[in-house]
Amino acid sequence: MAINTSGFGSYDIRGIYPESINQELAYRVGRVFPELFDAKKVVVGHDIRLSGPTLFDALTRGLTEAGCDVYDVGQCGTEMIYFAAGANNFDGGIMITASHNPKEYNGMKFVKKGVHPVSPKTGLLDIKAAVENENRDWSFKKATGSIYKIDILHDYIKRLLSYVDEKNLRPLKVVMNTGNGSAGPIINEIEKFLPFEFVKVYNNANGFFPNGVPNPLLQDARAETSRAVVESGANCGIAFDGDFDRCFLFDEKGGFIEGCYMVGFLAEAFLKKNRGEKIVYDPRATWNTIDIVESHGGTPIVCRSGHSYMKDVLRAENAIYGGEMASHHYFRDFYFCDSGMIPWLLILELLSKTDKKLSQIMGERIEKFPVSGEINTKVSGVDKVKEIMAKVEEIYGKRGEVSKIDGLSVEFSDWRFNLRGSQTEPYIRLNVESRGDKILMENKRDELLAIIRAQ
């Protein structure tokens, strides 16, 4: 097959199988990864996508032919690769996944020794350049490495459970929608150790995604979780994306909770146990998080969106927790990596300690800091994004406080917004929030959208 590197992006490799993600690409990645990162022991896994085993075979053939030993964890979620790499001090980890993309996609995420992410600045472009090298003798093989099957499930579940105190938990009813993704087997295992009653939706792992793409950021992907919560009388609902590195929260009325409120909720969970710690957040919707962190004696630290940026800042600041509006949550004691399992455990522990319903708890925060949620507008390309951003800055930048940590943020005394281009899709993304004034937020949202969509 012809080599195609169009799938190399800002955080990982991702594309349609077999056009841009195929066996030849996976094999070449395997051949070059050990030499680029001085890796002699690498852990590898794949999610439930149908092309996963085929890509796994090609990738591990490349790794072993480069003289590297492979530790195979089989079907798993992305965070299990992070855990395995950190707990066993492996030289790297590769997860075969396309996360929340449609079923025809696949890809790879990478970490190197110390569970440091591989981004364009830390080696992803080096991988790209190496696999594109047609002058290389790809037939030359070093001494062949070995493949070892390893079972990390017990230790991984034990680590997850260490984040909560079982004595604090009460028998809540919780809807768990795994979207036919990789989370189902983990939910089946972890429920053995918890007092919760799980109402399972689409819990069987199925790479055909017979019930739609597991991406609860999409409006259409939320209906089943909402309906199941209401019909079962559950205390809340949790939904996962395909490789479960993100989870999404629904209240007892079936209402979807925006990610920025989850960040504040989890920051509170950590600061109640660890006053004075640092919390990292992204600049899309910030005021709720800052308010909670400061009121609980913590230090809020803003960081550009994106897992490699967040992980770098968490390490540099030794922050206990970091969260993004897009529902990626990062934990110091989880190798500074993101997890989709730890957040809901902490949330259910907090919920177990109060008589308030989740809609009440979140309603208070939503009323105090109403947000628009992320609103996407399709654009023709990068140049159009720049044009729109310049126009918006021209109108608002002279009157408000401007920040360009991630896209364009402009802050006023009673409202603020963030506007940024997508790293992976032809969209410009808008978030607006206010201090206790929903009508103001909505008016400013509509005002900005009119400018954006007139371009």
Residues with catalytic roles: 99
Distance separating alpha carbons of residues 91 and 41, to the nearest angstrom: 5
Q: Six-digit token pair at 319?
A: 């922050």
Q: Alpha helices, DSSP H only, in 51-119?
A: 52-65, 78-87
* Helix, strand, coil percentages in the chain from 3-state DSSP, rounded to 5: 40, 20, 40
Tell me how far CA of residue 98 lies from CA of 47, 102, 313, in angstroms: 8, 8, 25
Nearest in space to 285 (alpha carbons), one of 115, 174, 441, 128: 441
Q: Is 376:363 a contact under the CB 8 Å cutoff?
A: no
Q: What is each CA distance from 141 to 67, 136, 231, 330, in whole angstroms?
A: 8, 12, 59, 39
DSSP state string for 364-381: HHHHHS-B---EEEE-S-
- Size of the chain, expressed as the number of residues it contains: 455
Whole-number Å distance between alpha carbons of 333 and 318: 10
